[in-house]
Every structure is written in structure tokens, then in C-alpha cells.
Amino acid sequence: MEKATISIPEIKFTKLFINGEFVHSISGKTFESIDPRTEEVIANVSEGDKEDVDLAVKVARQAFDHGPWPRLPGCERRRIMLKFADLIDENVEELAALDTLDAANLYSLGKAKQIHDGAELIRYYAGAADKIHGTTLKMSRELQGYTLVEPIGVVGHIIPWNFPTQMFVMKVGPALAAGCTMVVKPAEQTPLSALYYAHLAKQAGVPDGVINVVTGYGSTAGAAISSHMDIDMVSFTGSTETGHRIMQGAATSNLKAVSLELGGKSPFIVFDDADVDRVAPLALRVLVLSFRKEYTISSWRDCLEEVKTWVVGDPFDPNVNQGPQVDKKQYEKVLSYIERGKKEGATLLVGGKPLPGKGYYIEPTIFTDVTDDMTIAKEEIFGPVMSIMKFKSVEEAIKRANGTKYGLAAGIMTNDLNIANTVARSVRAGAVWINCYFAFDNDLPVGGYKMSGFGKDMGIEALHKYLLTKSVATPIFKTLHGFDHLCDYGKLSKMAIVSVFPPANTS
């Protein structure tokens, strides 16, 4: 395991962020944020519970119903959001370090790209803030109408541990642009950067009560958000199992709107004409379920050679390709999947063992001879494990790729345009990458099919889920040239019309 020496930043923010202030939880309880590199405590963070969520929601409701944010001109929200993005860029090193400490994200990647990408996503939605408008409707001769597009209200964001910065900005960015107020619950494994982002938002001029961050556990703080009677929408990214519970909470409370980006088992389908040199680096970026044409590429040797150069170690080290798992629970879960794979008959080609010493490190692992009924082929592992499976035809590849309860994403490697188009249209997945994998852009909506959830993050489509459309209709009083008979003034009086201009004298 590679070691790195770096000056760890001071942890500045560990309390809940409510109404523009850092405050202790009502109970006074805290929980430990653990460094997955060393298994040591980074900080003791305030543990929010239902009472803290109630307080945060009350503040967010007041900010929505009576505060300036939903009523600001879009151009003013844009100005504040652009300042927020600038502050993110100015604090890139500290933010990248927090995500490395908490989530074991690669520091070099965070510093060079991920944090800046987060700032750019805020700018993307800032640019949309003053372009939210309804439409004029062509209706009957007796009516005219238009639509108003309004913010949905108070939003609860529940975000996972895997990419703390990206998950925060992809939820908060469009909700801010729409004019919503919000309560954010970051994952208990990765609370630190969310608190820092809330601090920067206040510095940028986001009014108090608009962004509130309640750190804590999903079973308490998260459950309180999903079932809260005064939250108008909940947006969640995480496991399918938790998605079930969030929908139940939303349904049995106030039938709030729900957006879910859930689990996946995303296939990476490699055809016989694919560029062999590009396959292994793409597949190993995420170590996914990989289908390969049986009679062409020797179905694993290129990946095996690539793994030999893969450096596992301290994510602060710029030479490292893979850091540790986020916590002990995830570490043990991944190792249990590896054991299941071996017991169920898959062939372990490389890896499969924990690394010695401190930290939640696991070797990159590749299985072959994997069949569709094996656990490692069916369930989301969320760790450094690849399963290689073989297929004989395009039709078989499509059928097996669709033979899963998930539908988050899929990748296709081929130089044949007909195959690419056929598979892209046939695979039931929310995103399909052709000759690339894990490719994202601010303008590209992401979100799954089937049990991978519904609703989109990223792109303008994500902005729409934080908006409601209100239809407005008014009668047209045709009083000229003898048309005044079209208006029933008696009926209008019953509709509490206070005064009506008298019809013109057409005699």
C-alpha cells in the first residue's frame, strides 16, 4: 500500500447549519467521522435527529413563504450563485482534502477536476435562474390563458457518500436556481464538505434559512425528512432499499413529490470490433459488470495486465489509482461479495484480498466464468470488483443486459454504428455510453429506469423537477360590435367580480 505525506487541513465546521448559523444538535449528541485511510477519528460531528429536522424545516418554510429568495428576480439569484461558484474555486484545495479525508476520493482528481466541476455546475444552473418562465396559451374564443412556473417549495435532499461534492451541487444547484429552500442531509460517512459548502453559500449571499444542513443518520434524520408534513419534495440518491423507505414515508405523510436515483448493475458490453487498447482502462475506471464477445478478444488478459499497474493506497498520493472503501461496513460488505463469488463458482483471476495494515483497502478484483444467477452478477457491489461474462450475439447481449432489476446505465464498445444504435435503443437504462464510460456533463441528465429510480439529476431536466406549473385562465369580455351577449354578467357577479365595465353603446 502506497503512503502519502500531506498537511491535513483543520476541520472548521462540525455542527448543524440551520438558519445561517452553525449550531449543536438539540440532543447534544455527536458521531465520529472516520478517516478510511487510517481508521482514526477525523472529527466529532453533531448528530441531528427528528427534532433538528423539524427546526430546519420550520426555518426553510419561513424562508420560502416569507423570505426573499423565491421572490428575487432570477438575475439576482444568478448573481449570488455565481459568487458561490467563485468561492468554491477559491477553496478548492480544502474542499478536495475534505472529500479525500471523508470519502477517500483521490485528492489529485478532486483538486484538478471534481471541485472545479462542482463550481461549474453551480454556474450552469445560475445561468438558468433568470430563464424560468411559463407560456402563453391559445385557448377558445372566450378565454385567454398562460402558465406560471413556480418553485416547488421546501426540498429535502438526502445524499450518499460516494461523491460528496458532486452530489451536493447536483441537488442544491437546480433547487437554488428554481427559488426553493432546502434541508440537506449528507451521508453520515461524509458530512464535512456539505457543511463547508453551506458556509460558502452564506458568504456568497444566499439568505439565511435557504440552505440548511442536518448531519446525522439515515434511519433518524433521513427518515424524518422523507415523512415530514411540511417538506414539499424529497430528492434522494442511494440504495434501492432506502428508496423504498423514502417513498413509503412520502406516501404516508403529505404525498410529497419524490425523485430517486438508486442502485445499479450497469453492463459494459464489448463487441469484437472494439479497440482493445481502450477497453481495459475504461472498464477498470469503475470495475463494472463486463460482457465480452466470446470468440474475439481474449476475454480478460488485457484487463489483467492493466490491473498489474493499478496502484492501491493513500488517496492523497498523486500516483494512486484506488483508495480505500469509505468505512468498515462497506469494506466488509465488498469482501463478503468476493467470498460469495468464489463459493458460487466464479473464477478469481486477480485480487480478492484486503491489503494488510490500517485502512479499508481491498485489491482490485476480477472474476471470470460468471453466470447470470450468481450474486456478484445480480447485486450492486459498489467496490473494486469486476465480473466478466461472455455472450455470442447482439441479441443475447441485449437480453442479458436487460435481465436485471436495475436500469441505471450501460456502456457499449464497438466501431459498428448499427450495433451501437441497436443496443443503445434496446437496453433499458437511463444513460448509455458508446465507446466511453462514466462520461458526464452539466447538460447531460442522469437517472435510472426500473428499480434504479426515476427523476433526473444534471441538465435542465433536473431544474424542472424543482418547479411547478400553474395554469391561469381569464374570460375575454367581447363587448364591441354586438358581442357583449357572450358574457354572462349574472354569472360573473356570482363569481365575486366586484365591478365590470359597462358594455359600449353600439346603437
pLDDT in tens, 176-194: 999 999 999 999 999 999 9
Do 90 and 126 belong to one domain? yes
Residue 207 lies in a domain: yes
347-350 and 267-270: which strand pairing?
Answer: unpaired
Residue 376 in domain: yes
Same-domain check for residues 500 and 398: no
Mean pLDDT of all residues in 477-498: 52
Average pLDDT over residues 8-28: 96
Write out the three cell numbers for 123.
454556474
Same domain flag for 55 and 72: yes
- Residue 177 within a domain: yes
* 261 flagged as catalytic: yes
- Regarding whether 314 and 225 lie in a shared domain, the answer is no
**289 and 372 fall within a common domain:** yes
Structure confidence at residue 499 (pLDDT): 41
Least confident of 55-59, 268-272, 405-409, 412-416: 268-272
Q: Model confidence over 392-445: pLDDT tens digits?
A: 889 999 999 999 999 999 999 999 999 999 999 999 999 999 999 989 999 999
Residues 257 and 380 in one domain: no
**pLDDT beyond 50 at 504:** no
Distance from chain centroid for Cα 352: 29
Are residues 103 and 218 part of one domain?
A: yes
Measured CA to CA, the distance from residue 200 to residue 285 in angstroms comes to 31
Distance CA 269, CA 391 (A): 9
Give me the pLDDT at residue 477, please: 75
Three-state secondary structure readout of 388-420: EEEECCHHHHHHHHCCCCEECEEEEECCCHHHH
Domain ranges, residue 492: 477-507
* Residue 9 counted as domain residue: no
Quote the pLDDT of residue 125.
98
Decide: 143 and 473 in contact? Cβ < 8 Å. yes
Tell me the per-residue pLDDT of 285-320, one tens digit each, with 9 for 90 and over. Answer: 555 555 555 534 454 566 677 777 889 999 999 999
How confident is residue 253, by pLDDT bands cut at 50, 70 and 90? very high
239 found inside a domain: yes
- 322 within a domain of the structure (yes/no): yes
Check pLDDT > 70 for residue 357.
yes
Percent of the chain topping pLDDT 90: 79
Q: Name the β-bridge partners of 385.
A: 365
Sign of dihedral through CA atoms 184, 187, 188, 194?
Answer: negative
For the stretch 371-399, pLDDT in tens is 999 999 999 998 999 888 888 889 999 99
**Range name among 144-148, 195-199, 339-343, 503-507 with the lowest pLDDT average:** 503-507
Could you please report the per-residue DSSP string of 277-346? HHHHHHHHHHT-EEEEETTSS-TTHHHHHHHHT--BB-TTSTT-SB---SSHHHHHHHHHHHHHHHHTT-
Overall domain count for the chain: 3
Q: Which amino acid is at 168?
A: F
Residues 198 and 241 in one domain: yes
239-243 long-range contacts (CB < 8 A, ≥24 apart) are 239/263, 239/380, 240/405, 240/406, 240/451, 240/452, 240/453, 242/218, 243/453
SS3 269: strand
- Whether 77 and 96 map to the same domain: the answer is yes
Answer whether residue 6 is part of any domain.
Answer: no
Whether 161 contacts 190, CB under 8 Å: yes
Across 46-55, 132-141, 178-187, 336-345, least confident range: 132-141
Ranking 95-104, 270-279, 405-414, 434-443 by mean pLDDT, the lowest is 270-279
Whether the per-residue pLDDT at 498 is higher than 80: the answer is no
So what's the pLDDT on residue 6?
A: 65
Q: Which three cell numbers stand for residue 209?
A: 434559512
For position 79, which CATH number holds?
3.40.605.10
Residues 322 and 401 in one domain: yes
pLDDT (mean) for 318-345: 96
Q: Is the pLDDT of residue 211 over 70?
A: yes
Confidence of residue 506 (pLDDT cuts 50, 70, 90): very low
Give a yes or no: residue 58 inside a domain. yes
State pTM to two decimals: 0.90
DSSP string, 347-398: EEEE--SBPSSSS--B--EEEES--TTSHHHHS---SSEEEEEEESSHHHHH
Q: Do you know the residue count of the chain?
A: 507
Over the Cα atoms of the chain, what is R_g? 26
Shared domain for 59 and 182, answered yes or no, is yes
Identify the weakest region by mean pLDDT among 57-71, 389-403, 441-455.
Answer: 389-403
Q: Which of 47, 188, 261, 306 is catalytic?
A: 261
pLDDT at 500: 42
Q: Kindly state whether residues 310 and 210 are assigned to the same domain.
A: no
pLDDT at position 216 over 60: yes
